[in-house]
Amino acid sequence: MISQYNLQQPEGIQNITTVVFKRIRLEGFVVMDYFDQYSKFLDFILPYIREGKIVYVEDIAEGLEIAPAALIGLFSGRNIGKQVVKVTDE
């Protein structure tokens, strides 16, 4: 959905009637549906992160003045991984 946010003509389902007549099931994934399992997930995943078997990526923009450009980058796909704005070293 976020990739379609600023498009003049968003892409996606054009004929919703087809979805109804073909009885297509569409189900979203919302991470909050599984929040009760978060501690179990951390117990499982943190050892892999500590061992370097799983590496996550942060896209760090340095300085508060860069924050607007970093936000715009989220909508245009410029960032890689989690977008972080570093405001200070303290």
Residue 5 pLDDT more than 80?
Answer: no
3-class DSSP assignment, residue 13: coil
> Which residues, in sequence order, are CB contacts of 66 under 8 Å at separation 6+?
85
Poorest-pLDDT segment among 13-17, 21-25, 34-38: 13-17
β-pairing verdict for 82-86 and 58-62? parallel
Summarised one tens digit per residue, pLDDT across range 64-83 is 999 999 999 988 888 888 99
User: Sorting pLDDT into bands at 50, 70 and 90, what band is 43?
Assistant: very high
Evaluate if pTM is beyond 0.95: no
